[in-house]
Amino acid sequence: MSVPGLDALLSDEGWPYASTQPVEPGDPGRFHALFGRDSLITSLQVLPARPEVAGATLRALAALQGAREDPATGEEPGKIGHEFRARPPEPFVRAGWPEAGGFRYYGTADATSWFLVVLAATGDAALACELDAAWRGAGDWLARALDSGEGLVRHEPGTLPGGLTQQGWRDAIDPAARSTEAGGFLRPDGAVPGHPLADVDSQAAAHAALLALAALSGEGDWRRRAAALRERLGALGPDAVAVEAGDEPVPGAGSQLGWLLWAGALEGEAREAAAERLCASDVLTDYGLRTLSSESPVFHPHAYHRGSILAVRLLARLGRAARGRPRGGGRARARRRAGGARPARPAARALRGHRGRGA
């Protein structure tokens, strides 16, 4: 099956760059590199048509998986990295990053979870066997992160300057930068939330990863951990975009609600409340889901993570419902679909032959 434009994005090894090479004068092609999150989500999106892309991406990231503790780069044993280049990007060098050597940066709260999700989604038992050490190491990292984060995956910036201070999908070096393209998330008063941070997007990915680990390993502890995370996320309510230092929620309804529903990370009344909030007109538009509610004091329609509408946020059934309304009863249909959304389950049957320890 063909995916138009995909081949131009692929490396010689078959994994997708986060952006193509520059296509016109002045285009920096700034994301023409192997990115953990971006390459993995792209692989998941094209999996039905081009399953070999997922295999290439998983192998590339497993080869660069964290092996030691390095507070400068964020490397940790088992952790999947954020970005890899032959040399550091110029903004990092200007900020004080060492110019010599390659660029291996692990400042990401969710790439390890996406690695596990994609591997399980392939349903490829042979690939799971090949990457046995990698996915078990990734699972160990996720378990440590949840334990040290008291039930949530939390993150802090590394010690080298120029790195990301917010490290989930809404990543940012300086979330308070005065630019309509600024990323990250803020408190309603415009202040930067305090570390450690647990962004909701990353918790949704972690829940999906725990279910993936249950399928890969056959071990019941992963499902118990998933249940504990569902309980914690349900207690947050539908208007939290993150949890900051002191376990204080950071308000900001938005597209993270779609990730929570997709990942099956909410149950019962919490799931219904999230579906209701997601389908409100300040989040669900005729064109898709806003990354942040238009009623938020820090909303801007062109801000990368604080109001823009990105096609990738049209998640599964939610996206089909949103495109199909646009008014009246269509919104009620979207709400019903959101409330009944289920995650894409890992292909457990294909993996039964590879459960190894704990089977």
pLDDT in tens, 111-149: 999 999 999 999 999 999 999 999 999 999 999 999 999
Chain centroid, CA 122 distance in Å: 18
* pLDDT at residue 180, as a whole number: 55
Cis peptide bond upstream of 196, omega within 30? yes
CB-based contact 166:199 (threshold 8 Å): yes
- Residues 198 and 271 occupy one common structural domain: no
Q: What pLDDT, on a 0 to 100 scale, did the predictor assign at position 302?
A: 84
Distances from the Cα of 51 to the Cαs of 47, 60, 62, 124, 209, in angstroms? 5, 15, 17, 10, 19
Residues 38, 111 within the same domain = yes
pLDDT at 95 over 80: no
Q: Quick count: other Cβ atoms within 10 Å of Cβ 319?
A: 18
Round to whole Å and give the CA distance between 226 and 108.
20
Q: Are residue 257 and residue 165 in the same domain, yes or no?
A: no
Q: Tell me what the mean pLDDT of segment 310-339 comes to.
A: 46
- Average the pLDDT over 303-327 and give the result: 54
Residue 307 banded pLDDT, cuts 50, 70, 90? confident
Average pLDDT for 5-22: 86
Distance separating alpha carbons of residues 159 and 162, to the nearest angstrom:
9
Alpha-carbon gap, residue 315 to 258, rounded angstroms: 6
Residue 300 is classified by DSSP as -
Q: What is the CB neighbour count within 10 angstroms for residue 187?
A: 18
Q: Do 75 and 195 share a structural domain? A: yes
Question: What is the pLDDT confidence band of residue 313, given thresholds at 50, 70 and 90?
Answer: very low
**Residue 314 located in a structural domain:** yes
Residue 166 lies in a domain: yes
Q: How confident is the model at residue 339 (pLDDT cuts 50, 70, 90)?
A: low
**Residue 106 falls within a domain, yes or no?**
yes
Same-domain status, 96 and 195: yes
Same-domain check for residues 158 and 11 = yes
Distances (CA, A) of 285 to 212, 238, 262: 32, 18, 19
Instruction: Calculate mean pLDDT across residues 227-254.
Output: 97
The predicted model gives 41-64 an average pLDDT of 96
Residue 350 has pLDDT above 70, yes or no: no
How wide is the angle at C-alpha 103 spanned by C-alphas 101 and 108, nearest 5°?
A: 155
| pLDDT digit string, tens, across residues 179-233 | 656 689 999 999 999 999 999 999 999 999 999 999 999 999 999 999 999 999 9
Torsion over CA: 17, 258, 307, 149 (sign)? negative
Confidence (pLDDT) at 325: 36
pLDDT given at position 116: 98
Rounded Cα–Cα distance for residues 173 and 162 (Å): 7
* 164 domain-assigned: yes
Compute CA 259 distance to the chain's CA centroid, rounded to the nearest angstrom: 9
> Which residues span the domain enclosing 314?
252-350
CA–CA separation, 318 and 278 (whole Å): 9
Question: CA 178: distance to chain centroid?
Answer: 25
What is this structure's pTM?
A: 0.89
Q: Does 195 lie in the same domain as 90?
A: yes
User: In this structure, are 18 and 128 located in the same domain?
Assistant: yes
Q: 342 pLDDT band (50/70/90 cuts)? A: very low
Cα separations (Å) of 172 from 100, 106, 288? 24, 14, 23
Considering its fold, how many domains does the chain have in total?
Answer: 2
Based on the domain organization, do 211 and 311 belong to the same domain?
Answer: no
Mean pLDDT of 72-96: 89
d(CA 39, CA 114): 10
Confidence of residue 4 (pLDDT cuts 50, 70, 90): confident
pLDDT of residue 286: 81
Alpha helices in 131-267 (DSSP H): 132-148, 200-217, 220-236, 256-262
